[in-house]
Amino acid sequence: MRKIKNQVLDILSREDISGSLSLLDQYPPKKVLGPVFSGLLSPIQLTRWHAVTAMGHIVSRLAEYDLEQGRIVMRRLMWSLNDESGGIGWGAPECMGEIMARHETLALEFHCILFSYLVEREDGADNFLEYEPLRRGAFWGLARFAQEKPEIASRAFRSALKALNSEDDPFILACLCRYFQHTDSVPGELGTIVSPAGRRVVEFYWNRELSSLRLADICPAL
């Protein structure tokens, strides 16, 4: 297992993850899940993002022949975001979005959970992620989900619109721009809200590449 872990982490550290994912297919999905989870905690930002991509690849592959195992992984990610887990859940909402982007059944079953992390409900009973670094991950997961499953992701429009009027973090705004772009639902106020931060630079992982971009380069309304 240590050998497999080292091999998986080596794959995740490579620049071109798209060309390396086939190497993971040499192993049974269950054997590489643990090493990929550990990749989410890497001190190297690109390795962490590649672990998110790999998680979607592996779990979608696993769920094709054992759907219940795919559900178990999704529940494990959800549990890691629960205060009672004793952890922080680094990378969990991003992985949820990536997995659902790649697997229709898991998307239909779990999309409401991802949506519940985005904004506070008026009645106070919710899963809202108060810790902003985790919330950034949830918004990235939403945007990635919208890229592949826009019809389902569009159900979060009201939450995304509410977040647009309450969030000021450039990374979250970039994710919202991607979300609205892919769901073909760009609100009229998007440019007015985002333009003051348009020159801010964010490290943004998209289409399996990590780039430093101005918010104005990401947002279609600017």
Confirm whether 190 is domain-assigned. Answer: no
Confirm whether 45 is domain-assigned. Answer: yes
Residues 6+ apart with CB under 8 A from 68: none
Q: What are the strands, taking DSSP E only, across the chain?
A: 201-206, 209-214
Residue numbers of the domain that contains 120: 2-158
Confirm whether 26 is domain-assigned. Answer: yes
Confirm whether 74 is domain-assigned. Answer: yes
d(CA 200, CA 75): 35
pTM passes above 0.85 = yes
Q: 25: helix, coil or strand?
A: coil
- State the total domains in the chain: 1
Confirm whether 201 is domain-assigned. Answer: no
- pLDDT tens digits along 83-106: 776 678 999 999 999 999 999 999
d(CA 71, CA 110): 9
Confirm whether 209 is domain-assigned. Answer: no
Confirm whether 218 is domain-assigned. Answer: no
Residue 195 has what pLDDT? 85
